[in-house]
Amino acid sequence: MMLRSRTTEAGIHTDQVHVGCALSDQAPMDPRFQYTYDGGDFISFDNQTGTWVAAVQPAFLQKQLWEAQKFWTQYVRRYLQYECLETLRSLVQHGRAVLEQQAPPMVSVSRRDDPDSSVTLSCHARGFYPRPIHVSWVRDGEDILAEKYSSGILPNDIHSYYMQSALEISPQQEDGHRYACRVEHSSLPEPVLVWAPGKKGALHPRVLAAIILALLVLAGAVGAGIILWRRRSAGPHKPAYAPAATGIAENSASCASSGTDPRGMGPQGLVQ
Q: What is the dihedral sign for C-alpha 82, 87, 93, 96?
A: negative
Of residues 192 and 219, the one with the higher pLDDT is 192
CB 22 within 8 A of CB 32: no
User: What does the alpha-carbon distance between residue 3 and residue 39 come to, in Å, rounded to a whole number?
Assistant: 11
Closest CA to 179 of 150, 140, 146, 144: 140
Please state which CATH class domain 2-98 belongs to: alpha beta
Mean pLDDT of 191-203: 77
Residue 179 has pLDDT above 50, yes or no: yes
The whole-number pLDDT of residue 125 equals: 96
With 90 as the cut, is the pLDDT of residue 182 above it?
yes
User: Bigger pLDDT: 94 or 41?
Assistant: 41
Cα 124 from Cα 139, distance rounded (Å): 17
Tens digits of residue pLDDT in 31-74: 889 999 888 899 999 988 989 999 999 999 999 999 998 899 99
Backbone angles phi, psi at 31, to 5 degrees: -70, 150
* Cβ atoms 194, 207 nearer than 8 A: no
Spatial distance between the Cα atoms of 219 and 155, rounded to a whole number of angstroms: 55
Q: Where do the domains of the chain lie?
A: 2-98, 106-195
| Pairwise CA distance, residues 177 & 156, whole Å | 33
**Cβ pair 198, 113 in contact under 8 A:** no
Q: Indicate the average pLDDT of the chain.
A: 80
Would you say domain 106-195 falls under CATH 2.40.30.10?
no
* pLDDT the model gives residue 163: 96
Q: What is the mean pLDDT of residues 233-242?
A: 59
DSSP 3-66: EEEEEETTEEEEEEEEEEEEEETTEEEEEEEEEEETTEEEEEEETTTTEEEESSTTHHHHHHHH
